[in-house]
Chain A
Amino acid sequence: MSEFHKLFNRQLKKLNLSKDHMPDNIESWNQFLENINKVYLSHDKERYLNFRSMEISSEEMRDSFKTIQEQQEKIHSNVRLVALGEMAGSIAHEINNPLMIILNHAKAIKKNISEFENETVDSLNKSSDAIFRSTVRVVEVIKIMRNLWKIPGNMENGRFSIQQLIEDTLRFNQGRLISAGITMEYKKIDTELYINCSLIQISQVLNSLFTNSIDAVMNLEKKWIKIDLVCEKKIIKIIFTDSSGGISRDDQFKIFQPFFTTKDVGKGTGLSLSLSKSIINQYGGDFQYDESSINTSFIISLPCCS
Chain B
Amino acid sequence: MSYSEKIGWNISFPEALDSINSVIFVFAAPVFDEKSNALKELFNAFPQSHFFGCSSSHEIFGKSILEDSISVAVVKFNNTKIKIKNMPIESIELSYQTGLALGRGMSTDIHMKAAIVLADGLNVDASTLLKGLKENLPSHVNLSGGLASDGDAFINTWVLVDKKVENKFVSVLCFYGENNQVLSEFEGGWEFFGLERRVTKSKGNILYELNNLPALDLYKKYLGIYADELPESGVYFPLQICKETKEVGVIRAVIGVDEHEKSLIFAGDIPEGSYAKMMRSNVDLLIEGAAEAASSIANNLKKSQKKDTNTNDNSLVVTISCEGRKRLLGQNCEEELEAVLSELPLNTLQIGFYSYGEFSPSKEFNSCEFHNQTMTLTYISEEL
Contacts and interface: CB of A to CB of B under 8 A. Distances in A.
B194 interface: yes
B193 to A, nearest CB: 5
A46 B283 CA distance: 9
Interface in B224-282: 224-226, 233, 236-237, 278, 280, 282
A53 interface: yes
B13 interface: no
A60 B196 CA distance: 11
Contact of B331 (A39, A54, A60): A39
Interface string B206-234: 00000000000000011111100000010
Q: Is the interface of A mostly helix, strand, loop or mixed?
A: helix
Interface residues of A, number: 21
Contact size range, B:
20 to 34
Nearest to A43: B283
B210 to A, nearest CB: 12
A64 to B, nearest CB: 6
Contacts of B383: none
B125 to A, nearest CB: 30
Interface string A44-66: 01101110111011001100100
Nearest to B223: A49
Contacts of A7: 331-332, 335
Given A10-B331, A11-B331, A35-B331, A49 B236 contact: yes
Contacts of A46: 236, 282-283, 328
Nearest to A42: B330
A10 B222 CA distance: 32
A267 interface: no
B334 interface: yes
A9 to B, nearest CB: 11
A45 B237 CA distance: 13
A52 B331 contact: no
Given A53-B280, A60-B194, A48 B224 contact: yes
A39 B282 contact: no
A61 B331 contact: no
A57 B193 contact: yes
Interface string A1-45: 000001100110000000000000000000000010011001001
B194 A53 contact: yes
Given A46-B283, A53-B194, 12 more contacts: A7-B335, A39-B330, A39-B331, A46-B236, A49-B223, A49-B236, A50-B280, A52-B222, A56-B194, A57-B193, A57-B195, A57-B278
26 contacts: A6-B335, A7-B332, A35-B331, A38-B331, A39-B330, A42-B330, A45-B226, A45-B236, A46-B236, A46-B282, A46-B283, A49-B222, A49-B224, A49-B226, A49-B233, A49-B280, A50-B282, A53-B237, A53-B278, A53-B280, A54-B193, A56-B222, A57-B193, A57-B194, A61-B194, A61-B195
